[in-house]
Amino acid sequence: MRLLFFYSFRNLLTRRVTTLLTSSGMALVVFVFAAIIMLAEGLQKTLIETGLDNNIVVLRRSATTEVQSIISRYQASIIETQPEISLDRTGARLLAKELVVLITLRKKVSNSLANVVIRGIERTSIDMRPQVKLSAGRLPKPGTLEIMVGNNVAKNFKNAGLGNSIYFAMRSWTVVGVFDAGETGFSSEIWGDSDQLMKAFRRNAYSSIIFRRNSNFDLPSFKRRIESDPRLTLNAMVEVEYYKKQSEMMAKFLRILGISLTAIFSIGAIIGAMITMYAAVANRTAEIGTLRALGFGRTNILFAFLLESLILGFLGGCTGLIFASMLQLISVSTTNFQTFSELAFSFRLSVGIVTKAMGFSLFMGFVGGILPAIRASRMKIVESLREV
């Protein structure tokens, strides 16, 4: 069947311009499809990688995000005494009571205002987030109006660089450090001393509690215990799951948008492929007759033309993916609908996306080619041979 493949492939090469135009149409659709799915994947990966499997987040029961959550000092003290919390080398509990507040800062490029997460942290907050690395300056001193900013904040917002002062909550805060948390949501946050921030924002409750679980931890039994405690109206979840949920709404929106847009675009690409393949069948009627006379069956003819159309889809898919892969060099910043905060993330190409995009492209090739291929296979030999 190698020869049949050559036959299909070389026919495409012979019609270079038509092949190029048809596969370009498919490539464009694959590019749009892959780009939007890569955006959703980037958002989801960024948020999922923000969390760790061995960290547990405690929030108010009805809250879905830290911004909506309130945990009183009394409730926090009860959580602090739970036996499933790991200890550090000094014997201190690996637990941090954190405050999460949104402020608005002006973007460098667009000069527009965007929400940025301020996280009030404790010493242990950094110990529990090994992905957070100081890239410039130093850590803020506890009890001072010092802050450190994620590298995406330093890069994208005005006056947010090392040594600058940011004015919020009626006070001026000095940026003493810039941290890099890689491709995670923390890189889009500002961190400062929890107590200082609570005072400044006139809050007397925390937003969340995070702790490192020990080997005795069992999430269902822990949840049952805190849910049945009448003093606590709290809920616990693994940090990775928490961040995964934060990305679900927007990722779903992006995926639906991507699929809807590409479904519409793909109709055009399929029609393009269909016209190309019908023209190919019409131009090669005598060839079809010859092949049939030589003993090739209807199925062989159907396969040869379908293969040609699938090659078109394959070429379109590869081209679209090559261009889409270049988007990985671009980082975008947008508001996450669920947290209402600005989040910077990159387009991410995964094996799953490559498979889906190629599958989609081959599907377009198949749908575009099947009717012309059926037509070719149904031609009568004698009539075809007359078309020289």
Partner 1 sequence: MDTLEPIVSINNVTKTYKRGDQIIPVLEEISLVINKGDYLALMGPSGSGKSTLLNLIAGLDQADKGVIEVGGIDITVLSESELSRWRVSNVGFIFQFYNLIPVLTAFENVELPLILSDLSGKERKEHVFTALKVVNIEDRMSHYPSQLSGGQQQRVAIARAIVTDPTILVADEPTGDLDRASAANVLDLMDRLNRDLGKTIIVVTHDPWAGKRAHTVKLLDKGVLSDDSQDTHS
Point out which residues bind partner 1 (CB under 8 A): 1, 3-4, 6-7, 10-11, 13-14, 286-287, 289-298, 300, 381-382, 385, 388
Which of 269, 274, 215, 183 has its CA nearest to residue 85? 215
Tell me if 270 sits within 8 A of 316, measured CB to CB.
Answer: no
Which of 100, 105, 126, 130 has its CA nearest to residue 115? 105
Give the shortest CB-309-to-partner 1 separation in angstroms.
16
Nearer to partner 1, 15 or 155 (CB): 15
Which of 359, 330, 355 has its CA nearest to residue 345? 330
Nearer to partner 1, 137 or 289 (CB): 289
Encoded tokens for 209: 């509690």
Nearer to partner 1, 267 or 382 (CB): 382
Contacts of residue 128, defined as CB under 8 A and 6 or more positions apart, other chains included, come to: 52, 55, 94, 96, 210, 211, 212
Contacts of residue 89, defined as CB under 8 A and 6 or more positions apart, other chains included, come to: none
Nearer to partner 1, 12 or 105 (CB): 12
Give the shortest CB-306-to-partner 1 separation in angstroms.
17
Contacts of residue 213, defined as CB under 8 A and 6 or more positions apart, other chains included, come to: 54, 55, 56, 84, 85, 86
Q: How far apart are CA 32 and CA 347, in angstroms?
A: 12
Tell me if 341 sits within 8 A of 335, measured CB to CB.
Answer: yes
Nearer to partner 1, 48 or 301 (CB): 301
Q: What are phi and psi of 106, to 5 degrees?
A: -90, 135
Q: What are phi and psi of 286, to 5 degrees?
A: -65, -35
Q: Which residue, chain included where needed, has tokens 């959580």?
A: 79
Give the shortest CB-383-to-partner 1 separation in angstroms.
10
Q: How far apart are CA 281 and CA 373, in angstroms?
A: 8
Nearer to partner 1, 246 or 377 (CB): 377
Give the shortest CB-376-to-partner 1 separation in angstroms.
14
Give the shortest CB-245-to-partner 1 separation in angstroms.
55
Give the shortest CB-294-to-partner 1 separation in angstroms.
5
Give the shortest CB-300-to-partner 1 separation in angstroms.
8
Give the shortest CB-293-to-partner 1 separation in angstroms.
5
Residue 335's SS3 state is strand
Tell me if 301 sits within 8 A of 370, measured CB to CB.
Answer: no
Nearer to partner 1, 252 or 298 (CB): 298
Nearer to partner 1, 7 or 363 (CB): 7
